Chains A and B, each alone.
Chain A
């Protein structure tokens, strides 16, 4: 081996690239699963929420519903073949998403219990948006930062049209996680695009 400055630069670039590497097929499959299940989760939550507002259902039933949604999502995710590569950044990003989905039912339940149902969506989206953006900044991923900002700004719509806040959430998860992150990524991979 030569041992030149070019070689040192090349190795540095390899190391820099590798810290954020991910198995695209694995990521796309996971996003399809989580996008689909949480879209259904929010659509049903919307119905439950309306029933709760009308006094026909105890709003706290939303918590076990979300425990079920997350349980099913975790089970389906476990059926996906493990990734061919796991980077340190990928591991941190995974933990960010896990905390989000773990905290979600607790926050919803808490706000229902406090009797402030109209602020649930707006409150969660600001919190989660900031959380996702922070993760994106730390991991140097612009798409994640943009995703966090979309979440945060959707709080305005959720506050104004609070009766439809969970439908707005369902739309967000369907378009961002399921369509963009999952289905479109899978199609691109099938065509051999990176």
Chain B
């Protein structure tokens, strides 16, 4: 399952409140390494949950991420599933 990683869930949650965020910003917020974040973001992109936008700013490459409608839906379903499971246990 795509959301079986804490970092991927948190990345989607951060992006759900934003129009877009740069790689560096997400790295700071998620307190992870470049390589680790890259591989998680790649998986989210392949699943169609996020969009990637690359730009050159003052000669330096920058990568921006934004959440897709599918990403928002998947995150919502994930949270609803947790709540459903919990209500089933009680």
Taking Cβ atoms with an 8 Å cutoff, the residues of A that contact B are: 1, 3-5, 7-8, 11, 14-19, 21, 23, 81-82, 84-88, 90-91
Bin chain B's interface residue count. Answer: 20 to 34
From B5, B18, B86, contact of A85 by CB (8 A): B18
The B1-45 residues at the A interface (CB cut-off 8 A) are: 3-6, 9-10, 13-22, 24-25
The B30-78 residues at the A interface (CB cut-off 8 A) are: 55, 57-58, 62, 75
Chain B residues, Cβ within 8 Å of A1: 3-6, 9
Chain B residues, Cβ within 8 Å of A18: 13-18
Closest to A19 in B: B17
Chain B residues, Cβ within 8 Å of A4: 82, 86
Taking Cβ atoms with an 8 Å cutoff, the residues of B that contact A are: 3-6, 9-10, 13-22, 24-25, 55, 57-58, 62, 75, 79, 81-83, 85-86
A84 x B21 contact (CB < 8 A): yes
Closest to B23 in A: A84
A21 x B18 contact (CB < 8 A): yes
Q: Count the A-B residue pairs with Cβ separation under 8 angstroms: how many?
A: 70
Chain A residues, Cβ within 8 Å of B14: 14-15, 18
Known: A11-B10, A11-B79. A85 touches B22 (CB 8 A): yes
Chain B residues, Cβ within 8 Å of A23: 25
In the bound assembly, the distance between CA atoms of A84 and B19 in angstroms comes to 11
From A3, A7, A15, A91, contact of B16 by CB (8 A): A15
Known: A1-B6, A11-B13, A18-B13. A86 touches B18 (CB 8 A): yes
A81 x B57 contact (CB < 8 A): yes
